[in-house]
A and B are shown apart, each in its own frame.
Chain A
């Protein structure tokens, strides 16, 4: 069974940093591209970052470019999101999601981890 489990969320002050993790199991993690998506309270989904299976290609939304960094460790079956210079508007549930090998669709999602940026 494919499982994605996010961790690392919590309360952080504006300007602070946080590192999210996503533990993958039930599939060959190193064969799939991965993404981070977030959802602010009561708002819609926002795509943040993409990383290819070998980490050779990374794509970021303009809203987080220069502040957020996606990475992965295939030996540990783990995906990461390093978030720096956090702002109140970064408050959201953060999801990791697996991208299918057929295209850009995201076929498996974690349950999300909540990040709250507040003083």
Chain B
């Protein structure tokens, strides 16, 4: 079955740039989406179609993609950015949606 691979954790100091990667074989042809989930809350879409931000999402969150890897970048990370981040996409045949394993971002 199709898989998206993320690092389990990323840690940065406040004000630094955090980068969370997501790799998958179908990403060259399929969009990547990113979700933020804070403790005890439902996930929230923060990036769609590789690099677009929904209304209300802070500009310091950005997305990019190159080949089989998508990247979520948080510029000038703040304590309030601490959360679990999940990438999401579809397999090459659009038969399945899939989440990456999630990355815990720590800002301290």
Query: Does B bind A?
Result: yes
Q: What residues make up the interface of A, taking CB atoms closer than 8 Å to B? A: 35, 37, 44-47, 50, 59, 61-62, 95, 100, 102-107, 109-112
Quick check: B86 and A44 within 8 Å, CB to CB?
yes
Confirm or deny: B108 has a beta carbon within 8 angstroms of a beta carbon on chain A.
no
Confirm or deny: B95 has a beta carbon within 8 angstroms of a beta carbon on chain A.
yes
Quick check: B45 and A47 within 8 Å, CB to CB?
no
Quick check: A106 and B45 within 8 Å, CB to CB?
yes
Cross-chain contact of B97 among A35, A44, A100 (Cβ < 8 A): A35
Q: What residues make up the interface of B, taking CB atoms closer than 8 Å to A? A: 1, 31, 33, 35, 37, 42-45, 48-49, 54, 84, 86, 88-90, 94-102
Q: A103-B48, A107-B45, A110-B42 are in contact. Are A47 and B97 (CB under 8 A)?
A: yes
Quick check: A95 and B42 within 8 Å, CB to CB?
yes
Cβ contacts under 8 Å, A35 to chain B = 97
Nearest A residue to B89 by beta-carbon distance? A104
Q: A44-B102, A47-B96, A47-B97 are in contact. Are A103 and B45 (CB under 8 A)?
A: no
Quick check: B42 and A45 within 8 Å, CB to CB?
no
Quick check: B102 and A103 within 8 Å, CB to CB?
no
Q: A59-B96, A104-B90 are in contact. Are A44 and B31 (CB under 8 A)?
A: no
Nearest B residue to A63 by beta-carbon distance? B1
Which among A62, A103, A104 has the greatest number of chain B C-beta atoms within 10 A?
A: A104
Nearest A residue to B31 by beta-carbon distance? A103
